[in-house]
Amino acid sequence: MAHKVFIDGSEGTTGLQIHERLAGREDLEVIQIDPELRKDPAARAACLNAADVAFLCLPDAAAQESAALVTNPDTVVIDASTAHRMHPDWAYGLPELGAAFRERLTTANRIANIGCHAGAFLLGVTPLVAAGIIPTDTRMSCFSITGYSGGGKKMIAEFEAADRPATLNSPRLYALGLTHKHLPEMKQHSGLQHAPLFNPVVGCFRQGLAVTVPLHLPTLPGKPTVAAVHAALSAAYAGQTFVRVMPLGDPANLDGGFLDVQANNGTNRADVMVFGHDEQAEVVVRIDNLGKGASGSAVQCMNLRLGLDEMAGLTV
């Protein structure tokens, strides 16, 4: 029997991407709602409670409202918004962070999907904190560049308009108040005591994301080498399907000396790379912000929770 799935907010960027990843799967049945009733609470509640898995692809407040409509104890809710990522009763949707994260995702009926910047940051930093290479009280910084699709329908329309202003042709720094909404999960799920100083940038390309985390090696305990940083990450992700640690010093990691931010587009893959020398290192994590950073992770979590093939509907 096919599992029933409902996407609340199916017309948004993440909802549409989830639809694409579920298309053609015979093990799933997508519940459809009358377009005229998309905002009707009773109609939405009926769909939510009829589903084995309900994806919430909504703004934070609307996601909280939808979650409150779920009264069926067997419905698994996967929230793609920021609303529940810090809630102790919700599992965090990044199984590669460790056995405890993965195990909880196989049984939880409330799952908070990751933020795109946050997920990439956590993949690069959490294993190093766990290994003791980065002390928990370290005050870190990170830089992230992402495609404009991460801003949703409105930003996509602005960047793809025929009369797009010239200001959109250049990279655009944002969240300069240093209170980006992903910071709480970056702190909590990494094990750090302090949120990083985070500089996000949106570029004039549709999708793709890379987070860069600098490390001053002589300031860390034991003065680790670049090779030691790489080895810790390699050990953490050994055997993982969707996370690959790229060979240290391999010229093939770059495109003529440049990092291709869009190389993982259309996949659920995360590439972890380490660059540097005796004094300094950088950990770079590359994902598709619409894939591993959003809809891909959500589908992966669904697969795990339902006991299905973790790769079903996803591309490595």
> Which pair of tokens denotes residue 120?
């990439």
Beta strands in 224-314, from DSSP E residues, in sequence order: 243-245, 270-276, 280-287
Catalytic residue, from 47, 57, 116, 142: name it: 116
Q: Specify the DSSP element, H or E, that contains 248.
A: none
Per the CB < 8 A criterion, the answer to whether 217 and 160 are in contact is: no
- Beta strand 243-245 pairing with 270-276: parallel
Q: Specify the DSSP element, H or E, that contains 78.
A: strand 76-79
| Side chain identity at residue 112, one-letter code | A
* 258: DSSP letter: B
Per the CB < 8 A criterion, the answer to whether 304 and 91 are in contact is: no
To the nearest 10 degrees (0 to 180), the angle between helices 116-130 and 226-236 is: 110
SS3 233: helix
> Which pair of tokens denotes residue 239?
């055997």
Other CB atoms within 10 Å distance of the CB of residue 12: 17
What's the burial of 121, exposed, middle or buried (CB within 10 Å: 0-12/13-18/19+)? buried
Q: Please say if 116 is a catalytic residue.
A: yes
Q: Specify the DSSP element, H or E, that contains 65.
A: helix 60-69
> Active-site residues: which are they?
116
